Amino acid sequence: MNTQVYLIKPFTNMHVGSGKENTGIVDNTVQRDVLTNFPVINSTSLKGALREYAEKGMKCPDADIEYVFGKGNRKKDGKEVDENKNIPGNFIFYSAHLLSIPARSDKFAFIHATCPQIIGDFLKQTELIGDVIEDKVKDAFTELLSIPFDSEDKKAICFDTKLEGTIVEFYNVKTSFNGKISDENLSILKSWLGGDFVWLDNNTFKKNIVGKLPIIARNHLENGQSTNLWYEEIIPRETIFYTFISAPEGKLNKLELNKVVLQIGANASVGYGFSEIYIPIK
């Protein structure tokens, strides 16, 4: 099997629903990793979005669709036809995990934020899957992961002097400058993390960033009258996820996914979930 790493960046807000409520406060919450509670795009949701793109965007032949994604039981009058069995696809689709997320600041519209938990998990996954990133990328992330948080006063670290002293979101911790990352590694990290970024300790990141995702009020109108108001949790645009797709030798080209636009998750009719999927610098 060959495996390719991809980055996914929504350029509109995204709601990939979990089907759960949040103690009555939020009606529709987003999918989250069961271990870290960070936002995630489950593999089934991602596979469905990719299949729709292959069918409608690429207009792939039915034989290629079935080869990549598999074939479900045919139905007649709402019932499955017994003689037509499920056929699994030949590609493996992994869940998309968080790599960085935009956070508002006092000096810029936003900057990207990440933390040791995210980067550590990313390095473990790439090592287990094997040979999906080049050594220079691994070295850059390994160097980032080695940067410690020296004291209680340094819970946010930046690596560019223009970001020094920036307040991220609404907590009273300013970024401290740390110039220990080489220019080459910093350039690689920016290309993967979406641009200028801050390095937050795990607790600060969980409490102030992913623990406080934006919530949007939605309104259902019937004959011009409001009949139902509900609240929906969203993933902000410019968030970066990473994922992997594995395929038999020489078959990855059946899905041409570099720099294409997918619609992932719910509410396409109001512009949610439109995302770019692309191959990063390995």
Taking the C-alpha atoms of residue 167 and residue 108, their distance in angstroms, rounded to an integer, is 10
Taking the C-alpha atoms of residue 71 and residue 169, their distance in angstroms, rounded to an integer, is 46
Residue type, 256: E
Question: Minimum mean pLDDT among 21-25, 159-163, 208-212: which range?
Answer: 21-25
Taking the C-alpha atoms of residue 118 and residue 165, their distance in angstroms, rounded to an integer, is 23
Task: Evaluate whether 197 touches 190 at the Cβ level (below 8 Å).
Answer: yes
Q: What's this model's pTM, rounded to 2 decimal places?
A: 0.90
How does the average pLDDT of the chain come out, rounded? 88
pLDDT at 101: 97
Using CA atoms, how far residue 209 sits from 38, 104, 238, in Å, is 10, 10, 14
pLDDT at 52: 93
Chain segment 55-94, per-residue pLDDT in tens: 998 898 889 999 999 987 666 666 666 565 778 899 999 9
